[in-house]
Amino acid sequence: MVDWQAILAEHRTRMWRAAYRVLGHYDDALDCCQEALLDAHRLAAKETVTDWGALLTTLGTRRAIDRLRRRSSRRQIEVSLENVSEPTVDDGGPNQRIEAAELLEQVRRRVAALPSKQAETFWLVCIEGLPIDEVSRQLAITPNRARVLLHRARARLANTLRREKLTARKKQ
- Kindly list the domain boundaries of the chain, sorted by start residue: 4-171
pLDDT for 77: 41
What is the Cα–Cα distance from 115 to 113, expressed in whole angstroms? 7
| CATH number listed for the domain at residues 4-171 | 1.20.140.160
Supply the pLDDT for residue 74: 54
User: What's the rounded mean pLDDT across residues 141-165?
Assistant: 91
Q: What is the mean pLDDT of residues 67-85?
A: 57
**Nearest-CA neighbor of 26 among 110, 100, 85, 96?**
85
Q: How confident is the model at residue 31 (pLDDT cuts 50, 70, 90)?
A: very high
Mean pLDDT of 47-55: 90
Q: What is the mean pLDDT of the chain?
A: 83
- Is the model's pLDDT at 81 over the cut of 50? no
What is the rounded distance in angstroms from the CA atom of residue 118 to the CA atom of residue 116? 5
